[in-house]
Amino acid sequence: MNSDIESGFGIYIHFPFCLKKCDYCAFSTWDDRFDLVEPYLQALKLEITSWSKNMELAPTSIYFGGGTPSLMEAKQISPLLELFDIDKDVEITLECNPETVSVSKLVDFKNIGINRLSFGVQSFSSHVLASLGRIHSADNAIKAFGFAKEAGFENISLDLIYGASGESDQDWLYSLEKCFELKPTHLSAYALTVEPGTALSKDPLRYPDDDVQAKRYEVIDELAEKIGMRWYEISNWAFEGYESRHNQIYWSRKNYLGFGCSAHSYIDGQRRWNFSSLNKYLEASLYGRSLCCGKEDLTDKQNRLEVLMLGLRTKDGISLSDLFKLFPKLESIFFNSLDASLTELLEITQKRVRLTLKGRLLANEVINYLSSFESV
Ligand SMILES: C[S@@+](CC[C@H](N)C(=O)[O-])C[C@H]1O[C@@H](n2cnc3c(N)ncnc32)[C@H](O)[C@@H]1O
Ligand code: SF4
């Protein structure tokens, strides 16, 4: 079957191994379990094969995330790709840590069909990288980007993090300038968040400051726009045509299947998730038990909130007709007695409502306010 780009169906494959755990990271990933890589790849194959018996796996995008999937060799990835029905247009992304790639490895990735790379760079200042607990230098990130170009990759995304302890306004500006000099097609920039259980969470002196992060966000948006990159989701900017198809599947609530430990799936209104623990995932696979440890059918209320939340975070926002269908009580006040403070946070046209730049900084507050009309 040909993949239907319009309808969209995503595959996420989790690779839970990293050379070293970063101080801020709460993803399911281990830096001391490399003996489990091969059993894990076998378990992934079994999981994908068992789904393929019930359902045609013809995705429009495949995303290898982690962890650090670039620790794998192409010969470990291709047996996984062979389990899917892959049309030539399918977007296949692999997350890379700059420390783990060479030109020849990236050429091998390209030869097996990977056509998009996403590098975790985080910062181009060495003291900021050290403060985040990253293993690579800024120079290695620049080199890794060059390797990707040399290997023939055109579609390359960079991840940055802002608000780390020790990062000055000047450091952030420098990181953005270095990033844009490389000319990635796509940029994800995340406000550093303190996740429970991380090394960062135990060190309040390194916690980020909201006002500083808001300022940093405005700088990204201004510089990205200047070079022609447009925001298309709160934390994502791209040149036209290079928006991540895979992420858009999540934001437009299309179906996706996640494989591997901690992976989530969303199929026809039902969400399900696998064991986060590597041991539990492998043990369940070994004994032929279900790898899924939870599922829920979204209630009407959850669905309404998700449509609002995911829609408003994107540049298209949400159509007024959808908004009033979801929250009918909003209709009567929307053009007359809407809270005055919202006028600078929302751009309202005849048909749609979108967040302004200020609104993006206060997205959660706006979403809470709008969704409160359900219970009024
Ligand atoms: C799985 S990692 C990317 C690939 C690779 N593992 C790496 O870090 O080089 C996904 C991205 O999430 C972001 N991220 C993870 N934890 C975060 C946190 N606590 N706050 C902000 N961003 C975070 C980082 O930008 C990171 O690059
Ligand atoms: S940020 Fe990336 S490299 Fe660092 S621990 Fe998390 S997944 Fe691993």
**CATH topology match: 9-250 vs 300-374:** no
Q: Is the CB of 200 under 6 A from ligand 1?
A: no
- Mention every residue, 6+ apart, whose C-beta is less than 8 A from residue 294: 272, 273
Q: What is the pTM assigned to this prediction?
A: 0.95
- 283-340 pLDDT, tens digit per residue, is 999 999 999 999 999 999 999 999 999 999 999 999 999 999 988 888 887 777 777 7
Distances (CA, A) of 317 to 10, 98, 103, 365: 22, 34, 40, 15
Q: Is the CB of 161 under 6 A from ligand 1?
A: yes
What whole-number percentage of the chain has pLDDT above 70? 98
Q: Where are the beta strands (DSSP E) in the chain?
A: 9-15, 61-66, 91-96, 116-122, 156-162, 186-191, 230-233, 236-238, 255-259, 264-267, 270-274, 292-297, 318-319, 346-348, 352-355
Q: How confident is the model at residue 18 (pLDDT cuts 50, 70, 90)?
A: very high
Cα–Cα distance between 371 and 355 in angstroms, integer? 15
The CB density around residue 207, as the number of other CB atoms within 10 Å, is: 14
3-state secondary structure 125-136: CHHHHHHHCCCC
**Distance from CA of residue 15 to its chain's centroid?**
14
**Distance from CA of residue 376 to its chain's centroid?**
34
* Residue 5 confidence (pLDDT) above 70: no
Atom of ligand 1 nearest to the CA of 194: 19
Enter the tokens of residue 197: 């259980």
Cα–Cα distance between 174 and 317 in angstroms, integer? 31
- At 6 the pLDDT is 56
Atom of ligand 1 nearest to the CA of 120: 9
CATH superfamily of 9-250: Aldolase class I (3.20.20.70)
Q: 251: helix, coil or strand? A: helix
- At 319 the pLDDT is 94
CA-nearest residue for atom 21, ligand 1, is 192
Domain boundaries, the chain: 9-250, 300-374
Please choose, from the candidates 274, 279, 294, 277, the residue with its C-alpha nearest in 3D space to the C-alpha of residue 48: 274
8-state DSSP, 208: -
- At 375 the pLDDT is 53
Q: Name the CATH topology of 300-374.
A: Arc Repressor Mutant, subunit A (1.10.10)
* Residue 50 confidence (pLDDT) above 70: yes
If you measure from the C-alpha of residue 370 to the centroid of ligand 2, how many angstroms do you get, rounded to a whole number? Answer: 35
CB 150 within 8 A of CB 177: no
- 205-246 pLDDT, tens digit per residue, is 999 999 999 999 999 999 999 999 999 999 999 999 999 999
CB 25 within 8 A of CB 198: yes
* Residue 248 confidence (pLDDT) above 80: yes
Q: Is the CB of 16 under 6 A from ligand 2?
A: no
Please choose, from the candidates 121, 120, 238, 114, the residue with its C-alpha nearest in 3D space to the C-alpha of residue 184: 238
Element (H, E) at 279: helix 278-286
Q: 247: helix, coil or strand? A: helix
* Residue 349 confidence (pLDDT) above 70: yes
Of the listed ranges 10-14, 268-272, 349-353, the one predicted with least confidence: 349-353
Cis amide linkage into residue 67, ω under 30° from 0 = yes
Q: Is the CB of 193 under 6 A from ligand 1?
A: yes
Atom of ligand 1 nearest to the CA of 193: 20
Q: How confident is the model at residue 343 (pLDDT cuts 50, 70, 90)?
A: confident
